[in-house]
A and B are shown apart, each in its own frame.
Chain A
Amino acid sequence: MTPLLEGRGLSFAYDGRRVLADVDVSFSASELVALVGPNGAGKSTLLRVLLGLLPARSGSVSVLGRPLSELSRREIAQRVAFLPQETRSDFAFTVRELVGMGRLPHLGRFRPEGEADVRAVERALEQTATAAFAARLASELSGGERQRVLLARAIAQTTDVLLLDEPTSNLDVAHQLEVIRLLHGLSRSGKAVAIALHDLSLAARYADRVIVLSAGEIAAQGSPRDVITAELLARHFRIHARVEHGEDGVLVIPMAPL
C-alpha cells in the first residue's frame, strides 16, 4: 500500500546541533502510529519537518505521492492537519470560530462557509463532544475541553493525514483515554494518524505501530508487542520498567530511573 505521508533520509540541525539524522518514516491509511522517545529525541522536530514547517537539511517528504516541495502551504493543509503541542492566544475566539478555522485551506478569499464547510465543522464538534459549548469562548474552557476543541479544529480540516504533538499532555487520565480512543477511531475511518506521545502505556495499548526515536535516529519500529521491551526502555529511556503482555495488549509499568 502506498503511504499517505512519507519521509526519506530526513536530517535536520539547529545551530549546528544535529536533531534528526537520516530518518525514514511512512504513515499509511487506517493506521495509528505512535512516535515515542525521551525528551529531545527529535519527535516534535520530525513532525515539523514532515509538514515543511522546518526545512530539512537533506532528504525528501512526499504527501499522497507528491513531493512536499511542489505543494503550496494551502495544498499541504488540505492534505495534512497538525496539532502543535502548546497553543495559546490572548484573543477571545468562540469554540465554533476556532473549529471553523479548520476550514481555512478549503475556503476562497471572500467566499463564506458553504454547506460542506458547516457540515464538516458540525461533525468535528460532535465527534469530539464539544458541540454543547460551541458558543462559549475558548479561553474560558478547562484544559481538557480546550484540547478537544483544538482536536476538533484538526478534524474539521478533513485531511487524510493527522499529525499531533502530545495531544494528551495536560489531560487527566479519563480525558487522555477519550482523546486517544477518538484518534484510534479516526484511523479506523481510513486516515493516517501519527501522534508524538510521552505515555508509553497509551502508545503500547492503542498504536498499530510504534516508532522509537532516540537522539535523532530511529531506534526501533514495529508493533508495540515486538518493540516495547524492558531492554529497549532501559537503553533509550534510561528506566527500569516491567513490561507485561496481557490480553488487552502491552502494559508498561515504570519502576525506577537507571
Chain B
Amino acid sequence: MKRAAPGPLLALGFVGLIVLAAVAVGRGALHIEASKVVAILESAVGVRRTAPFQPWEATILLDVRLPRVVTGAFVGAGLALSGAALQALFRNPLADPGVIGVASGASLGAVAAMHLGLAAYEAWAVPGFAMTFAAATAFAVYAIASRGGRLPVGTLLLSGVALGSLASALTSLLLSLSLEEYEQGRQTFRWLMGGLEAKTWGEALLVAATTLAGSAVIAASARELDALLLGETEAASLGVDVPAVRRRLIFAASVVVGGAVAVSGVIAFVGLVVPHLLRLVVGPAHSALLPACLVFGAAFVVGCDLLCRTLVAPEELRLGIVTASLGAPFFLFLLLSRRREVSLE
C-alpha cells in the first residue's frame, strides 16, 4: 500500500475535524442553523456586536454542545495517541489501553469515587480517582511482570489481563452495591456505558490538560518508539535507555487514559482502530503517526458522538456502544485480511 504524505493528510484530518465539530455543535435534538452557529461563535469571541439569535440558542451551543465536542475531541486524541504508544512499547499492534488493564483500573477508580458518594460533592473526585487507579494499575502490572529490569511482553500482557479482570470484578461488585440506592446506581451504570452527554467546560479543560501533558511526553519519545518497534535489544544498541523510556511512557499513557476515562467512561476500540488504520496509511514511523493519531482520533470520537445524537434523535445512543459497533467489525475485518501483520509471535 502506497503511503500518504503526512503533511497533507494532517491538514485533511484537521479540516475534517473542524467541519465535524461545526456540524456537531449545530445538530441535535434542537437544530441551530449554520449561519447562527457562526454568529454565536463570532459574538462569543467578541468580533460581532449584533446578535441575530436567541440567548438560549447561544447557551445551548456554548455551554452544552461546545464543551461536549471539545471533550470528545481530546478524549479521542488521547486514546488514539496512547494506543499508538502502547503498541510500540509492547511491540504488538493489538495492544491498547484496555489490554494492560489501565482502562479497567481507571474505571474502577471512577466507580469507587461515585460509590463513596464523593462524585456528588467534589468535581475532582472522579478524575482524581480514575488517574490514580490507572497509574496504580499500570505500575502494579509493571512490578508483577518485570524481572530484574526486564519486562517480557507475554508476562506483561497476561498480568495486564489478570489485573484488568480483577478491576472489572471489583467494579461490578461496587455497581451491585450501588444498585441499592437507585440514583447512585443509575449514575454509575450510565457512566460505565461511556458517553459525552452533559459535559461541562470544567471536564473539557481537565481532559484537555491530561491529554496535552501526556501527549507531550509521548511525542518527545517518538524516535525511541520507532527503535522499540525493532525490539529491546535493537533499541538498546541504538542508544535507547529502555527501562527509563518504558517507565516514562507507561506513566504518560496512564495520565491520558485516566483523564479520558474519568470524563467519558470506557470508550472501546479508539486506541486500537485509529492507530492501526493510520499505520497502514502513513507507515509506522512515530513522527508522522503520533500527530495523525491526535487529529484523526479526535475526529473519530467527535464523529461517533454526532452519530449518537442524530441517529435516533431526540433519543441518544451511548458513545461506547457506537465506537464498539463501528470498531469491532472493522477490527475483525483487519484481523482476518491482514493476519500476518497482527500476529502475536
Contacts and interface: CB of A to CB of B under 8 A. Distances in A.
Interface string B217-231: 000100110110111
A91 B239 CA distance: 20
B35 interface: no
B1 to A, nearest CB: 9
A157 B238 contact: yes
B283 A93 contact: yes
21 contacts: A73-B241, A74-B240, A76-B239, A77-B237, A77-B238, A77-B239, A81-B237, A84-B233, A84-B237, A89-B229, A89-B231, A90-B91, A92-B279, A92-B283, A93-B285, A97-B285, A101-B223, A101-B227, A104-B227, A104-B239, A105-B238
Nearest to B93: A90
Given A101-B227, A101-B230, A104-B223, A91 B284 contact: yes
A82 interface: yes
A101 B241 CA distance: 15
Contacts of B285: 93, 97
B315 interface: no
Given A104-B227, A107-B223, 5 more contacts: A84-B233, A89-B231, A90-B92, A92-B284, A101-B227
A110 B227 CA distance: 15
B144 interface: no
A127 interface: no
Interface of A: 48, 51, 53, 72-78, 80-82, 84, 87-94, 97, 101-102, 104-105, 107, 109-110, 157
Contact of A53 (B91, B226, B230, B233): B233
A101 B238 contact: yes
Contacts of B242: 73
B181 interface: no
Contacts of B237: 51, 53, 77, 80-82, 84
Q: Which of B220, B226, B229, B237 has the most CB of A within 10 A?
A: B237
A87 B231 contact: yes
B343 interface: yes
Q: Which of A74, A78, A90, A101 has the most CB of B within 10 A?
A: A90
Contact of A89 (B91, B220, B239): B91
A38 to B, nearest CB: 23
Contacts of B241: 72-74
Contact of B220 (A80, A88, A102, A109): A109
Q: Which of A51, A84, A102 has the most CB of B within 10 A?
A: A84
B291 to A, nearest CB: 13
B136 to A, nearest CB: 29
B236 interface: yes
B230 A90 contact: no
Which secondary structure characterizes the binding site on chain A? mixed
B230 to A, nearest CB: 5
A73 B283 CA distance: 27
Nearest to B241: A73
A97 B238 contact: no
Contacts of A77: 237-239
A107 B91 CA distance: 23
B122 interface: no
Contacts of A87: 230-231, 234
Interface string B104-127: 000000000000000000000000
B181 to A, nearest CB: 48
B4 interface: no
Nearest to A53: B236
A44 to B, nearest CB: 10
Contacts of B227: 101, 104
A193 B237 CA distance: 16
B180 interface: no
The 8 A-B residue pairs with the shortest CB-CB distance, nearest first, are A77-B239, A105-B239, A82-B237, A74-B239, A91-B284, A104-B238, A91-B229, A73-B241
Contact of A102 (B92, B224, B238): B238
A221 B115 CA distance: 72
Q: Which of A72, A78, A91 has the most CB of B within 10 A?
A: A91
B341 interface: yes
Contact of B239 (A73, A92, A94): A73
Nearest to A74: B239
Contacts of A48: 233
A74 B340 CA distance: 33
A88 B226 CA distance: 13
A94 B230 contact: no
Contacts of A102: 238
B199 to A, nearest CB: 33
B12 interface: no
Contacts of A74: 239-241
B226 A101 contact: yes
A93 B289 CA distance: 12
Interface in B152-191: none
Nearest to A154: B237
Contacts of B342: 90
Contacts of A73: 236, 239-242
Contacts of A105: 238-239
Contact of A90 (B220, B239, B341): B341
A104 B240 contact: yes
B239 A97 contact: no
